[in-house]
Amino acid sequence: MSGTKPAAVAEVLRPHAEEQYAHELAALAALDDRERPPGWKLSPWAVVQYLMGGSLSDGTVIVPKYVGQQRLIEIAVATLVTDRALLLLGVPGTAKTWVSEHLAAAISGDSTLLVQGTAGTTEETLRYGWNYARLLAEGPSTDALVPGPIYRGMQRGSIVRVEELTRMPPEVQDALVTVLSEKVLPIPELDTEVAAVRGFNVIATANDRDRGVNDLSSALRRRFNTVVLPLPATAEEEIAIVSRRVGELGVALALPEVPAAADEIRRVVTIFRELRSGVTEDERNSLKVPTGTLSTAEAISVVTNGLALAAHFGDGELRSTDVAAGIIGAVVSDPVHDSVAWREYLETVVHERANWGDFYEACRALDP
């Protein structure tokens, strides 16, 4: 979306990273005196600074894009300096997509070269397709060819993002093998090929615990360096992530400001962490684990929905009644197994916990 007017960006529901954080990228570029790999907008050191956040010598504050181990981001960036592609692996809610977008924005200045992997993704989606009207009228030609993200990324020397790689059929996945190993994209219809310009690479994301995934072939997996992004290590870390993202989403969605949400955010995070791990914080009670992932992303969604309820249908303060329905909806994915796990947790943990009586009553009121 190069050439978009700055005034228009504010009206977009979700600006691309390179637009939303353009001032940070510009400040880093101006102060970045370290060596930049061919085709990179910033040095590897500056890319890590952009992801991890901090203050620059000119006073610019870089907002953290990833809260976690800096070493993981350093490994990811170092991988992209080499000729190996990067695979970000983890359960839902570990910021895989978020990290891939910001890496592409910082390295190439463009995060829009994106392939969304689904069961219906075809090879043409990855590589190139055809303008069939011209193809029938003129036959195969460069003018009739419609470049896909991989084609354009190789031409430009840019990072290409492939989301949910394991959701694509195996035969489509394997279309990446030649691209990643030989750095060329054959076009047999024109008896030619596209050679990658320096700066080209691929960042893929995958979730190997979800349903309906396809295992990567050993040939393709060897072309990737895998970095596993874990769930937040501590409750405080997860609370910080949820609080920051909820604040950002509130601004983006133009939600009325709702103060004093810290207690409810902590409650949501506590419930999700206990049910994920199958044990309470004090490790005294074992719990049935629901089938859902109960990720940080879902916690953010629950709190954001609660803010909307509090702002438009409540008294302007986030309360337990505003988050109860969202939590139940997130926990009870399987009506049979998860309902049992949730009711047991509600009665044995929530009911007995000090100062959680209002939340217990709110959940009981919604229990079918």
- Residue 337: inside a domain: yes
- Choose the final residue of a domain: 181, 198, 228: 228
- Find the range with the poorest average confidence among 139-143, 259-263, 307-311: 259-263
pLDDT digits (tens, 9 = 90+) for 16-44: 999 999 999 999 999 999 999 999 999 99
259 or 219, which is more confident: 219
Average pLDDT of span 264-274 = 94
If asked whether residues 289 and 310 sit together in one domain, one would say yes
pLDDT value at 192 more than 80 = yes
Is the domain of 87 the same as that of 160?
yes
DSSP state of 288: P
Identify whether residues 130 and 263 lie together within a single domain. no
Residues 140 and 159 in one domain: yes
**Around Cβ 278, how many Cβ atoms within 10 Å?**
13
Residues 98 and 126 in one domain: yes
- Do 264 and 322 belong together in one domain? yes
Instruction: Indicate if 279 and 356 belong to the same structural domain.
Output: yes
Domain count, the chain: 2
Q: Does 218 share its domain with 85?
A: yes
Domain with 83 in it: 6-228
With bands split at pLDDT 50, 70 and 90, how would you rate the model's confidence at 209? Answer: low
Strand ranges for the chain from DSSP E = 54-55, 61-62, 85-89, 114-116, 128-130, 145-147, 159-163, 184-187, 192-195, 201-206, 224-228
Q: What is the CATH number of the domain that holds 210?
A: 3.40.50.300
Quote the pLDDT of residue 5: 46
- Considering the domain architecture, whether residues 213 and 152 belong to the same structural domain is answered as yes
- The average pLDDT across 43-51 equals 97
Please, which pLDDT band fits residue 312 given cuts at 50, 70 and 90? confident
Token readout for 54 is 């901090």
- Residues 145, 126, single domain; the answer is yes
pLDDT value for 368:
58
The span from the CA of 63 to the CA of 74, in Å, is: 17
Say if residue 55 is in the same domain as residue 137: yes
Same domain for 253 and 303, yes or no, is: yes
Examine the pLDDT at 13 and tell me if it is beyond 70: yes
Least confident range of 165-174, 216-225, 247-256: 247-256
- Structural domain contains residue 194: yes
Q: What is the mean pLDDT of residues 350-356?
A: 91
pLDDT band, residue 210 (cuts 50/70/90): low
Q: Is residue 25 part of a domain?
A: yes
**Of 204, 228, 252, which residue constitutes the final position of a domain?**
228
pLDDT at 212: 57
pLDDT single digits (tens) 285-303: 899 999 888 888 899 999 9
Asked which of 189, 206, 228 is the last residue of a domain, the reply is 228
CA 165 – CA 208 distance, rounded (Å): 10
Query: Of 208, 214, 182, 181, which Cα lies nearest the Cα of 195?
Result: 182
- Report the share of the chain in percent with pLDDT over 90: 64
